[in-house]
Amino acid sequence: MLPFSTVFEALKWASSFLKEQSRDENVGEIYLMYLLEMNRAQLLANLRMELSESQVELFLKGIHEHVNGVPIQHLIGYEEFYGRRFLVNNDVLIPRPETEELVYQVLKKSSQHFSKQETLKTLDIGTGSGAIAITLKLERPNLEVEAVDISEKALRVAEKNARLLNANITFRKSDLLQTLISKGEKVDLIVSNPPYIPTTDLMTLSDIVRNHEPHTALFGGEDGYDLYRRLMDELPQVVKSRFMIGFEVGAGQGSTVAKLLQKTFPTSKTEIKNDINGKDRMVFCIQD
């Protein structure tokens, strides 16, 4: 016998079961909206709706998969970012709300630093799903956006997202800035959410993250700063005389990354920005 038959009962069962298993209780609502092809308002307006046997079975299967560690974004195939839907899978990092804040600050600060009429050559390093690059292009169409990643599989996901969202972006395979350096290319604006989790933190991560997201996109060496240190050697070779750099960092890493940038660009202005939770999650470097 099935444990429930209506939308209301399904949500109640999922919330209780997910809570018991120390998972996010909202996953039931997200997954049922996906299965029924409804938005939240529609779902809540149809709480008494009867579910078919196959819908109940699909819902049970998905919730159990999530409890066993599969991210809800992999079950439904996408994540919302800056009001848009981005395809995700095991080859890319699932976009986070903190990264939306990075994009917001980059848009705000770049419009203050450069004139809005300028066609800025913009680079997203380690693009993953393409969420940062695509959002910047769609929010500020006059940006000339390029995105690089070392992973060909990630680039395929990003290219598909760009096509689906109609964003005109150049994607290239590159180990950080090596491709640009070899071609002698220069850019105005650099954005990156590089891997910054210390490898020593591996076992403290949720099994959902640890087992289903690419480690190359998560870990930045023993102390988390390996990629930032490499970038300090490469950045001076690709920025124009006036530039802006915006990094996402792990909580508590802001001052170290700011010092690295200040040492690399002694005449620049560096700034640490806190996220909505008051954690230092963004570092900017601006050269006039």
- Residues in binding site for S-adenosyl-L-methionine: 126-130, 149, 193
Q: Where are any strands of DSSP class E within the chain?
A: 78-81, 84-87, 121-125, 144-149, 170-173, 187-192, 239-248, 269-274, 280-287
Q: Which residues are annotated as a binding site for substrate?
A: 193-196
CA distances from 268 to 191, 210, 252, 260, 273 (A): 16, 37, 22, 12, 16
The annotation places the binding site at 126-130, 149, 193-196
Region of residue 273 (phi > 0: left; psi between -120 and 50: alpha; otherwise: beta): beta
Nearest-angstrom CA–CA distance, 288 and 286: 7
Joined tokens for residue 282: 């963004």
CA angle 130-131-134, nearest 5°?
75
Pairing of strands 121-125, 84-87: unpaired
For residue 198, which of 260, 245, 249, 127 has the smallest C-alpha distance? Answer: 249
